[in-house]
Structure 1
Amino acid sequence: MSAVTHLPDLTADVVLPCLDEAAALPWVLERVPVGWRAIVVDNGSTDGSADVARSFGATVVHEPRRGFGAACHAGLLASDAEYVCFCDCDASLDPGLLTGFVRQVAHGETDLMLGRRRPQGRGAWPAHARAGNLALSRMLRRRTGVTLRDLGPLRAARRADLLALGLTDRRSGYPLEMVVRAADAGLRVTETDVPYRPRTGRSKVTGTWRGTWHAVRDMRAVLNQPPAQALRPTNTAPNTRAGAAK
């Protein structure tokens, strides 16, 4: 259990895509850093998730189009902070860890920070989900030259940089498209280890082999897209890119 950290000089919005996560939401929302805004994007829940989110002070956005990407992008559009973070709503990842992510982005150490999931206990990350993730990581390296060991949902970046990427996927390919287009735009993408707990309830994406490979199919489509036109990063902090890894 992590301590909730207060960063007086840095604030961020945390986008939490949500589909029937009423049981997990209290744990997640209690760990959002003090002073940060939780944006819970309700993607058609029928278990009262939106009411639970409001009871914890979260901003609730309703996104009628089903899809992980649709929910994430609706949250991005609803945000107004300089820094935007993403975290799953199933209590598998601790949003309190995002303080370190935002600090590194703000200090010019990276542009898009991802959490590399490290399973804590049996069942935290099923074998079929790990296999799909490994395959995608290899395809990502071939497509962009970026070496990542995970494409996890815990991440942070500047809002302006994310909006400039012109993300279009509204299904399972959204997280990968964010990384691919960031690489095409010359943004630095890095990762750091984070604990990955067994989720509350069953995954809507990787809970079955079929769901996993549907997600892989969506992501393969993203990787098969031609490189987007390079977009100029919006971070104008002096001398932060000169030493970026090639």
Structure 2
Amino acid sequence: MSIELSIVMPCLNEAETLEICIKKAQNYIVKNNISGEVIIADNGSNDGSQGIAKKLNAIVIPVTNKGYGSALRGGIEAAKGKYIIMADADDSYDFESLSPFISKLREGYDLVMGNRFKGGIKKGAMPFIHKYLGNPVLSFIGRLFFKINIGDFHCGLRGFSKEAYSKMNLKTTGMEFASEMIVKSKLNGLSITEVPTILHKDGRSRPPHLNTWRDGWRHLRFLMLYAPNWLFLFPGILLFLIGFVFSVLLIKSPLVFETFTLDVHTLLYTSSSFLIGFQFIVFYALTKIYAVENGLLPKSNRYNKLFYFLNLEKGLIAGLILIFIGFGLSYNGFSNWKASNFGNLDIQTTIRSIIPAVLALQLGIQIILFSLFFSILGLKYK
């Protein structure tokens, strides 16, 4: 008989609560007449957890690579079910209340998330800082960056189809595995929904494996790295535009206000803003190519257009034009100096020509170098 449901629990020294979790999962499978299995992905327990699981006829999958994500990946890849539901083995989730997840999976959803904020968080089940800062902030960032309508990015109880899991191509090994699953589902066009879930106080006497600040940072770092548009592109465009507009105005003449004047000293900063913004934008493109060609991000129409608009030939032409402009402005400044018999110059006048000259030379050289690097990265794409 084919297996419809695999219930996967990561385990690292969960002897206190493992038995009750396995029994609840098995009871749910029997009561609902589901063809299922319970898998314990053991990550090196030394408290007898493996023996407890085997005694209860659960399938034990030893996972040598350490980490929450590693354990789950090992258990999920060994699962034979059409659908998989994963949850911690600390008795914080009720394995006898999985019907909302199964119903949504049978409807055709690829990923079904639990939402603890809608279902209810029992007293003492979640630390104050997680409940009112960590989870809400990280979930908001996830919704903003990836346009995913999910209220609880870090709920440990979730279900998905084995077919959908194979499309996610998950890579992470730690707690950020929870965020990666949602982000990769969205990026690969999988259907996502959520159901209310109750979070109970876990039954362990020891502290949880979760480290608030370390694991919170890992989640945030992952979200930023997988959203290079928010990390590089949008800040780069802002810096680029601000630098360009103010540089053009200051090259023409000082900007005089009632109480202060912006002159060539400010021009140095605005031209730097222009150059840094350009570097952010190019770095976004480099990051995008690297991530896609190494399987970290899926290909998209925007990605295909990137190679149409940006190529070696266009980059070389643009770079050389800027270099010629830079030399032309530099020659103009040198001519003015020569006309004064190489004597003292009006700094405010001269520097308005020299700063754009240096900026054009720097920009031209960088465009040529980046174009060469683009072409190298694009070899695999072509």
Give the whole-Å Cα distance in 1 for the aligned partners of 2:20 and 2:159: 20
Residues 230, 79 of structure 1: alpha-carbon distance in 2 compared, 3 angstrom cutoff: farther
Alignment match, 2:298: 229
Deviates more, 1:173-182 or 1:30-39: 30-39
Match for residue 216 of structure 2?
A: 216
Q: Of Structure 1 and Structure 2, which has the larger fraction of its residues in helix?
A: 2
Q: What residue in structure 2 maps to residue 116 of structure 1?
A: 115
Change (3 A) 1:9 1:192: farther
Is 1:56 aligned with 2:59? no
> 1:60-96 deviations in whole A, cap 9, x for unaligned?
0111221000001001110111111101100000122
Alignment of 1:55-74 (within 5 A): 55-74=55-74
Determine if the alignment matches structure 1 residue 171 to structure 2 residue 174. Answer: yes
> 1:134-188: per-residue Cα shift (whole Å, max 9, x none)?
1110110111111222120111111011111110000010011000000111112
Higher fraction of strand: 1
The residue aligned with 1:242 is none
1: CA distance, partners of 2:36 / 2:96: 10
SS at match of 2:203: coil
Tell me the SS of whatever aligns to 1:20: coil
Q: Do the aligned partners of 1:25 and 1:53 also contact (CA within 8 Å) in 2?
A: yes
Find the aligned partners of 1:146 and 1:120 in 2 and give their Cα distance. Answer: 22
Take 1:154 and 1:48, find their aligned partners in 2: how far apart are those partners? 24
Are the counterparts in 1 of residues 84 and 161 from structure 2 also a CA contact under 8 Å?
yes
Deviation at 1:225, TM superposition (A): 2.7
Cα distance change of structure 1 residues 9 and 53 upon mapping to structure 2, 3 Å threshold: closer
Query: Which letter does structure 1 place at the counterpart of 2:92?
Result: S
- 1:17 equivalent to 2:20? Answer no
RMSD over equivalenced CA pairs, Å:
1.9
**Deviations 1:195-238 (Å, cap 9, x if unpaired)?**
11100222110xxxxx112111111222123462159xxxxxxx
Q: Deviations over 1:77-117 (max 9, x none)?
A: 10111111101100000122223312211222x22101112
* Structure 1 residues not aligned, in runs of 5+: 1-7, 206-210, 232-246
Q: Give the unaligned 5+ runs of structure 2.
A: 228-296, 301-382
Determine the C-alpha separation between the residues in 2 that align with 1:68 and 1:48: 19
Bigger Rg, which one: 2
**Which deviates more, 56-65 or 31-40?**
31-40
Instruction: Name which of 180, 183, 195 aligns with 1:180.
Output: 183
Distance in 2 between the 1:134 and 1:226 partners?
Answer: 19
Q: Report the 3-state secondary structure (helix = DSSP H, G, I; strand = E; otherwise coil) of the residue aligned with 2:6.
A: strand
TM-score by length of 1: 0.83
Code of the aligned partner of 2:126: W
Corresponding position of 2:82? 82
- Cα distance 1:11–1:96, how it changes in 2: closer, same or farther (>3 A)? farther
Q: Report SS of the residue matched to 1:156.
A: strand
1:93 partner amino acid: Y
Whether the 8 Å CA contact 1:120–1:195 is kept in 2: the answer is yes
1:160 aligns with 2:153: no
- Percent identity of the aligned residues? 27
- Give the length in aligned residue pairs: 218
Distance (Å, rounded) in 1 between the aligned partners of 2:196 and 2:167: 27
Residue of structure 1 in register with 2:94 after alignment: 94
TM-score (norm. length: structure 2): 0.54
- Matched residue, 1:133: 135
Equivalent residues in 2 for 1:29-44 (5 A)?
29-32=22-25, 33-34=29-30, 35-44=35-44
